[in-house]
Chain A
Amino acid sequence: MKKKLLLIIGLSLAVFFPAFAQNHTYTGTVTAKDDGLPVPGVSVKIKGTNTGVQTGDNGKYTISVPANGVLVFSYIGFTAQSITVGPNLVINVVLVPTSQQLGEVVVTTALGVKHSEKELGYSTAEITAKQVTATAATNVANGLTGKVAGLAVYELDNSVDPNIAIVLRGNRSLEGNNNALIVLDGVPMPGALLSSINPNDISDISILKGAGAAAIYGSEASNGVVAITTKRGSATNKPTITYENSVQAEKVAFYPKLQTSFGTYGGEGNYINGVTGFTEYVPYENQEYGPAYNGQPVQLGAPLDSANGTKDIVPYKAYPVSPIDAFFQTGITEQNDMSYSQGDAKNSIFVSAQNAYRTTVVPNDKNIRDAFSVRGHHTDGIFSVDYSVEYSKTTISTYIGNNNPLNTQYGISLPGSYVTTAGANDLYSSILQLPAFYNIKAFEDPNSDLGNASNYPDAYAINPYWIIDEARRDEQRDILLGQIKLAVDPTKWLNISYHVSDNFGIDQERYTKAEVDFTPYSISDPFGAGSNPAVFKSGKSPGAVYDVYQYGDGTNNNPGFARLQGDALVDLHPSLLKNFKTDLLLGNSIYQLYDKYQITGSSQLLVNDFYNINTIGGQPVAQEADYLVRNISFFGDLNINYKGFLNLEGTYRNEQDSRLSKAERSFNYPSAKISFVPTEIIPSLKNSDILTYAKFYGSLSQVGNINIGPYEINNLYGITNGFPYGSLGGLTAGTTNFSPTLKPEITTETEVGTELAFFKSRFDFNFSYYNSYDRNQTVPISTTIATGYSTSILNIGETQSQGYEFQVTGQIFTPATSKIGWTLGGNFSINNSKVISLLPGVSQLFLGGLDYAVVGQPFPLLKGTDFIRDPQGQVVVNSVGYPQTASALTTFGRTTPKYDLGVTSTWSYKFVTLSTVFEYRGGDVVYNSLGNSLAFTGSSYYSASNGRQRFIYPNSVIQTGPNTYVPNTGLSVQDGNYGFWQTSQFQATNSPWVTSGAFWKLRELNLTFNLDKFIKQTKYMKGLSVALTGRNLFIWTPKENTYTDPEFSDTLPTSGARGFSDINELPGTRVFGGSVKVTF
């Protein structure tokens, strides 16, 4: 699309010169090195003259050149090449793309309008299709990480349907959505739908970082924009077919360090040796505070089925394979892509189909996506039409986790376990707390003698294989993204267009959990342990089924909106004054968001393995809701350019939104931007070989942001728990106090920056500084229930988000000067967030979890309990040597990274290219509740670090009087085993489990072999390349973090809260594989 657009511009401007008779006529084809496709519109000039032609649609050119003339081939985005003509009258040229040629890059801005980067008064970044798909990530977002300064992609978990959040320039909103707006071909779309898009359909992505870049998109864009442009047909007239296959494997890479020295004991009084006082092996425990492993045979659990049944005798020593290595499998992702494109100057069409099949490290989990798209363009005189339809069907099958959408989105509790009392174990937690002497594979069949629920030896945990076999969530998403744009260009100075888009999907989920029947022997609880089966006196745990049917964006987000939008745009660009280029855009945007869901289900199925709510005991669970949002806005954007070096832009927008009350509904916001390109005007710079390009820019912009859902202005009543009883109804006031006087949040951002290119763009440097203030934060603050409500939604306070972004690219070696090419890039951002004010007289707000907003501090701020310490900060132990929890809360640090560094590197040698992306994030802290859980069970390495012996709490002191402390040199903890790690206040205190959130990751590795030159003989094949790829191959974390990938968080992607990892997530993984790409 880019090439073609420029071609049209180029043609209209091109000046053709007559050729001289004595010259020779040379012909040839210009192709691009990256995809091997012909490049239309390449300028072919004879050096030292103004004589030149352009390549046609098929990349071919014909030019008459005097003897020994030098031809210069140049095109935007490619390194110019000079070739001295010789006797061969055919000169084919392969152009090498420059990674980025500043000033000439065309950026897709608001509503799909393309601007030369020179004209922009704000910070943007461009990502090419190749960068996105370098390592064959199935989700577009994964292909963006580490590549742009200020852009943070959070991979929040590692499930078969992972949550991903894209945040630009850190958090602005205290509790609202901080995610960037995703725009597909000019139309906003739900961020969750990124996972439904075929990454291979993407032509390029523009990142518009700040509020200023997005003022024209409206309030949804206050956190920046990721604008995706999809592929259209090529203009070469020749049909092109591309086929690509990639296969990748995924393996567990990072999991907590576990102890392999001590077996089971959990505080049972009757398992204390009466003579020695030592604890003894407990055959049914899940806590591992027992005797050290000694290799002796022990009985695991109760005898099978009866008191005199078979006993499972195992050696009392760590099993050679850790339960994690044994349980998790190697996941496989295979993607097959096929695309077809064809076009000419007036018509183009692009058709693609993709099948992405993914299994993960969790056995039985699957994610299959089939995506089809058709996109085209047709021009007829002054009219043109551009359309695209994309349909995707995703089927997901996964185990029911504790954080399943039924629970997190709809508030219906359905744990993925049959246990109702002793706590419902999630999959990962039930594996992590397996004692090291268990051979987990012995329980692989949950219907076998050993693996069934009655015989499973651990009295307090359930067989993880039961979860993945018997508790399933099956989801089907049917998503349609359609749009059509009609444009009319009646005169040179006027375009009018109308753009309609409808993005919607249907999400169907079915949760099924199998009935479990217990043997009378297991219910009798032979050990008197209060075991899981003992709870089921009735003999069974009934099965469950829940069906969710949702019309919305096609995901299981509640609400996840379907979106119908119409944009009318009038673009006036008259030539009024000499040297001035003016462009006035006037527009109207109307959109409607709609979501409706229904849930029916029951946890009391009557018939074993028959999942239907027609056959249940008791009453079915039923829920429904629908949500509607409407928004109308009008906007104007005036752009004035003077002689190509000075650009002024002003925007103004009025927006009216149905989520706010009538009085507050309408709001306005402006922006002003300026850019100056000295290299275009200052004579000494104009043709400088050192400084090729320089731009300085600044902007001041404001944008409104609505951070409440629909209907969140009036107080509500809900059905009282238990009601109705017969015909008797009961209503209870909701616990949230809504306010009809809420106003939109207002973000005001100032931005300045520069873009510099040196040595013909061999070295590029970008810098930007931003400072934004967010007023009228719409925050659901926790209020004392004594006000009548536990939450009040208020406009309060102000936050500041300020930062620096650097982006550097250097071609250390270019293929033109050496055999080896090496391009090295770095991007670095520093973000400082600060709470400026909250409510009058209030210096701290509780945001939920362990997150707080504190005036003068970054946010969200992690605070929690610490030990009682002396004035020097040393831990004060009590009379039995244990640390004690202090009652005041301690500040641990911010939960979002302050620093984000990406390092990209591309080596090329002949037909081999090696590229890597490294990323560092740091300056934040994470609360690992995982650590706390593992100390409870005694399975963490940390809990065995003192050999379970008595020890003196490190660097502790003893209080001897008021304000007098002496170093603790002789008081050991009373019990270095169960007593310290589980029952003392150590485990329940937050501070031992807070670690740095820093990490280095090798995000991407790609080794590509471009085999084009080896297939030249074949008639039908135009290109062939083979690549080896890897993602998240290595992670390095500070020593203290032995728990999990600090990028993970148990929060939803729409929440700004981070820094809380828990035992309900899966271990971190690495992905590696290969791909083949063929062009016909």
Chain B
Amino acid sequence: MKKYISIVTVFLTIGMAGCKKDYLDQEVNPNYPSVTTPQYTLAGAEASSATILPLDYPEYGEWGGIWCFSGSYTPVSQFQEFAVSISVAPSPNDAWNDLYSNLTNYNNLQVSSESVPADANFEAIAMIMKAFDFEQLVDNYNNVPYTQAFQPSTILFPAYDTGQFIYNDLVKQLDAAIALISKSGASATNPGTSDIIYGGNMANWQIFANTLKLRLAIRQSNLSTNVAQADLASTASIGYIGVGTEADCQPGYTDALGKQNPFYAVYGFDQNGNPASGYETQRANIVASNLMKSLNDPRDSAYYQTVSGAINALQLGNPQNASNAISSPIGPGLIKSSSQPEPIFTSYESLFLQAEAAARGWIQGSAAAFYNAAITASFNAVNAQGSVTTYLAQSAVAYPTGGTLNQQVQAIITQKYISLNSLFNLEAYNEFRRTGFPVLPQNPASQDPAAVSQTLPTRIPYPLSELNTNTNNLNAQGTINIFTDKIFWAK
């Protein structure tokens, strides 16, 4: 009898002992932090930014005459046929997701730094990189959520702003970021090594912001009202990215699973030395290859690997395309090492932008000098085998000083297209859509007998996820026709 009473007592005691005041307080997740520091957020966000440009735009490479589906793989036929719809979305749609995810982190950084004066540098970088990402969104989709974005507790269905509105606001944001660095940059905490793009060099961030402004201005060259261009003078003294101030991301890429340079990991080789999926599936496209051939451009064998001494390029959609064994994969000028830095904004792109701005009279300086410097920088970037001087001396390459603006722009964009090969397929496609250049030796359109169009898509559709999650605001954009609807700055 007694023993039972004692047993019951023991259990009841155990039961009661459990009921301490904080017994139910289990809100803190022991597995993942719910706090971060500006340094961790910045490093993480910059590393993510460096994966978007090289990985999210393979179709722009294919449509733009730079890459081609390998003859050994069943092509993603819809993309080859341009039979793209909201439910058969091309992979640039990953950019929607990736850019907004990336923007969330920059936005969090901006918001959390606003109230802490010592974090002004983080705030400024966040603002600049937000502008960098939003420009990509507009260039892909035209109208996108902007003012109503990133307010999950109050706005689950953010409305879209026009591309023009966003572009104009980005100029303001960039000016504000430049001013913020000038005002409090020196007294504020330096991001140091957590800034894996500029290592905390805030003057370089001002240059980056200013170059981005220049890109926004140049992109709107077809428009009569160009807010970005009008604003160029206000920060002209800062200057633009050149050799030595390139924005390259380098967190410390190394030859281990998940730690390789992102372009190398997808279009080069895995950590075991086996070819990665992109290396197997993307081959040289005859359009860009023949353009370079016609100009005796030695960069072709940097961009595309030679097979038996020659570049064997394929034609998009051609049913007779050669197999992997004899077609050219992406070349040694681009796939150098698993620890190569990932370029975000190159000196040659900036120099081409300056060349065009100078040709248009928007900035000081010699367009020809910028042009030659840009090509030289491009040659150096990919270790091209050949003399840049010889190359520039050719009449088909030499800058058409004294030519019409159109001739100058054609020369600049043709060379820019060649320099943007593979690493910047989006930008090459953007400039093609803005200027109609380069004039290509072949129609880059698909040779697939089932191709639904002989003209290139002028834009991609919104992603299916938007139709599922933001239906009304998406539908307010009207029916998107990918062959006739244009980004607001397009020709």
A binding-site residues for B, Cβ under 8 Å: 266-267, 269-270, 272, 287, 380-381, 383, 385, 420-422, 486, 488, 498, 500, 524-525, 527-530, 534-538, 540-542, 566, 568, 588, 590, 592, 603-604, 617-619, 624-630, 632, 656-659, 661-662, 665, 710-711, 713-718, 720-723, 725-726, 728-735, 737, 739-740, 781-790, 792, 839, 841-842, 844, 846, 865, 880, 882, 885, 887, 889, 974, 979, 982-985, 988
**Would B274 and A568 count as touching, CB distance under 8 A?**
no
CA separation between A266 and B41, bound complex, in Å? 47
Please give the distance in Å from B454's CB to the nearest CB on chain A: 13
Please give the distance in Å from A113's CB to the nearest CB on chain B: 19
**Would B465 and A785 count as touching, CB distance under 8 A?**
yes
**Would A528 and B325 count as touching, CB distance under 8 A?**
yes
Which of B27, B320, B466 contacts A711, CB < 8 Å? B27
CA separation between A679 and B326, bound complex, in Å? 90
**Cβ-based interface call for B270 (8 A):** yes
Residues in chain B near residue A728, CB distance under 8 A: 43, 193-194, 196, 251-252
**Would B71 and A525 count as touching, CB distance under 8 A?**
no
Please give the distance in Å from B103's CB to the nearest CB on chain A: 8
Residues in chain A near residue B47, CB distance under 8 A: 720-723, 730
Residues in chain B near residue A792, CB distance under 8 A: 152, 156
**With A658-B26, A731-B44, A785-B96 known to touch, is A885 a contact of B152 (CB < 8 Å)?**
no
- Interface residues in B, total, Cβ within 8 A: 109
Given contact pairs A535-B275, A723-B44, A723-B47, enumerate 20 new A-B contacts (beta carbons under 8 Å). A266-B74, A269-B71, A269-B320, A420-B277, A535-B274, A538-B274, A710-B29, A711-B31, A713-B27, A717-B32, A723-B251, A728-B194, A784-B465, A785-B96, A787-B152, A788-B100, A788-B151, A789-B152, A983-B81, A984-B450
Nearest A residue to B474, CB-CB: A784
Residues in chain B near residue A535, CB distance under 8 A: 274-275, 280
Residues in chain A near residue B319, CB distance under 8 A: 267, 269, 272
Lowest 7 CB-CB distances: which A-B pairs, in order? A530-B72, A730-B44, A720-B44, A725-B252, A528-B325, A528-B323, A711-B29
Residues in chain A near residue B309, CB distance under 8 A: none
**Cβ-based interface call for B468 (8 A):** yes
CA separation between A179 and B194, bound complex, in Å? 47
Nearest A residue to B318, CB-CB: A269
**Cβ-based interface call for B173 (8 A):** no
**Would A630 and B24 count as touching, CB distance under 8 A?**
yes
**With A731-B41, A731-B44 known to touch, is A528 a contact of B72 (CB < 8 Å)?**
yes
**Would A785 and B72 count as touching, CB distance under 8 A?**
no
CA separation between A311 and B186, bound complex, in Å? 74
What are 23 contact pairs spanning A and B, CB under 8 A? A269-B321, A421-B277, A486-B7, A537-B273, A617-B271, A617-B272, A619-B256, A619-B257, A625-B30, A625-B31, A627-B31, A657-B24, A661-B27, A722-B253, A730-B44, A730-B45, A737-B152, A737-B153, A740-B27, A782-B465, A784-B470, A785-B104, A983-B77
Please give the distance in Å from A942's CB to the nearest CB on chain B: 19
Return the CB mask of B234-276 against A: 1 if under 8 Å, else 0. 0000000000000000011110111100000000011111111
CA separation between A383 and B5, bound complex, in Å? 9
Which of A486, A723, A887 contacts B8, CB < 8 Å? A486
Which of A725, A740, A846 contacts B469, CB < 8 Å? A846
**Would A658 and B100 count as touching, CB distance under 8 A?**
no
Stretch among B11-19, B353-361, B368-376, B389-397 lining the A interface: B11-19
**Cβ-based interface call for B116 (8 A):** no
CA separation between A275 and B73, bound complex, in Å? 25
**Would A498 and B88 count as touching, CB distance under 8 A?**
no
**Cβ-based interface call for B149 (8 A):** yes
CA separation between A198 and B15, bound complex, in Å? 31
Please give the distance in Å from A999's CB to the nearest CB on chain B: 30
Please give the distance in Å from B337's CB to the nearest CB on chain A: 15
**Would B469 and A783 count as touching, CB distance under 8 A?**
yes
**Would B43 and A729 count as touching, CB distance under 8 A?**
yes
**Cβ-based interface call for B150 (8 A):** yes
Residues in chain B near residue A985, CB distance under 8 A: 78, 83, 88
Nearest B residue to A882, CB-CB: B450
CA separation between A44 and B326, bound complex, in Å? 95
Residues of B445-475 at the interface with A, using a CB-CB cut-off of 8 Å, are 449-450, 465-472
Which of B15, B36, B156, B466 contacts A839, CB < 8 Å? B156
Residues in chain B near residue A842, CB distance under 8 A: 157
Please give the distance in Å from A381's CB to the nearest CB on chain B: 7
**Cβ-based interface call for B105 (8 A):** yes
Nearest A residue to B102, CB-CB: A732
CA separation between A625 and B465, bound complex, in Å? 30
Please give the distance in Å from A789's CB to the nearest CB on chain B: 5
Residues in chain A near residue B86, CB distance under 8 A: 887
**Would A665 and B18 count as touching, CB distance under 8 A?**
no
Residues in chain A near residue B26, CB distance under 8 A: 628-630, 658-659, 710-711
Nearest A residue to B258, CB-CB: A722
Which of A500, A732, A983 contacts B44, CB < 8 Å? A732
Nearest A residue to B96, CB-CB: A785
CA separation between A693 and B285, bound complex, in Å? 84
Residues in chain A near residue B103, CB distance under 8 A: 788
**Would A725 and B280 count as touching, CB distance under 8 A?**
no
CA separation between A609 and B39, bound complex, in Å? 43
CA separation between A706 and B257, bound complex, in Å? 39
CA separation between A185 and B73, bound complex, in Å? 58
Residues of B269-293 at the interface with A, using a CB-CB cut-off of 8 Å, are 269-277, 280-281
Residues in chain B near residue A500, CB distance under 8 A: 11
**Cβ-based interface call for B40 (8 A):** yes
Which of B4, B271, B325 contacts A618, CB < 8 Å? B271
Which of A534, A618, A656, A788 contacts B257, CB < 8 Å? A618
Please give the distance in Å from A268's CB to the nearest CB on chain B: 8
CA separation between A529 and B73, bound complex, in Å? 8
Please give the distance in Å from B50's CB to the nearest CB on chain A: 10
CA separation between A385 and B71, bound complex, in Å? 76
CA separation between A662 and B24, bound complex, in Å? 8
**Would A529 and B274 count as touching, CB distance under 8 A?**
no
CA separation between A912 and B36, bound complex, in Å? 72
Residues of B64-98 at the interface with A, using a CB-CB cut-off of 8 Å, are 70-74, 77-78, 81, 83, 85-88, 96-97
CA separation between A76 and B276, bound complex, in Å? 72
**Would A529 and B277 count as touching, CB distance under 8 A?**
no
Residues in chain B near residue A525, CB distance under 8 A: 324-325
Which of A629, A658, A730 contacts B43, CB < 8 Å? A730
CA separation between A536 and B272, bound complex, in Å? 9
**Cβ-based interface call for B164 (8 A):** no
**Would B470 and A786 count as touching, CB distance under 8 A?**
yes
**Would A536 and B36 count as touching, CB distance under 8 A?**
no
**Would A732 and B31 count as touching, CB distance under 8 A?**
no
Residues in chain B near residue A528, CB distance under 8 A: 72, 322-326
Please give the distance in Å from B27's CB to the nearest CB on chain A: 6
Residues in chain A near residue B14, CB distance under 8 A: 566
CA separation between A713 and B34, bound complex, in Å? 10
**Would A529 and B323 count as touching, CB distance under 8 A?**
yes
**Would B257 and A782 count as touching, CB distance under 8 A?**
no
Residues in chain B near residue A624, CB distance under 8 A: 31
**Would A383 and B4 count as touching, CB distance under 8 A?**
yes
Residues of B20-62 at the interface with A, using a CB-CB cut-off of 8 Å, are 23-37, 39-41, 43-45, 47-48, 51
CA separation between A617 and B255, bound complex, in Å? 10
**Would A725 and B72 count as touching, CB distance under 8 A?**
no
**Would B150 and A787 count as touching, CB distance under 8 A?**
yes
**With A488-B4, A538-B273, A839-B156 known to touch, is A626 a contact of B31 (CB < 8 Å)?**
yes
**Would A784 and B157 count as touching, CB distance under 8 A?**
yes
**Would A722 and B96 count as touching, CB distance under 8 A?**
no
Which one of B8, B150, B321 has the highest number of Cβ atoms from chain A below 10 Å of its Cβ? B8
CA separation between A783 and B149, bound complex, in Å? 12
**Would A731 and B280 count as touching, CB distance under 8 A?**
no
CA separation between A628 and B151, bound complex, in Å? 31
**Would A782 and B251 count as touching, CB distance under 8 A?**
no
CA separation between A689 and B36, bound complex, in Å? 77
**Would A725 and B251 count as touching, CB distance under 8 A?**
yes
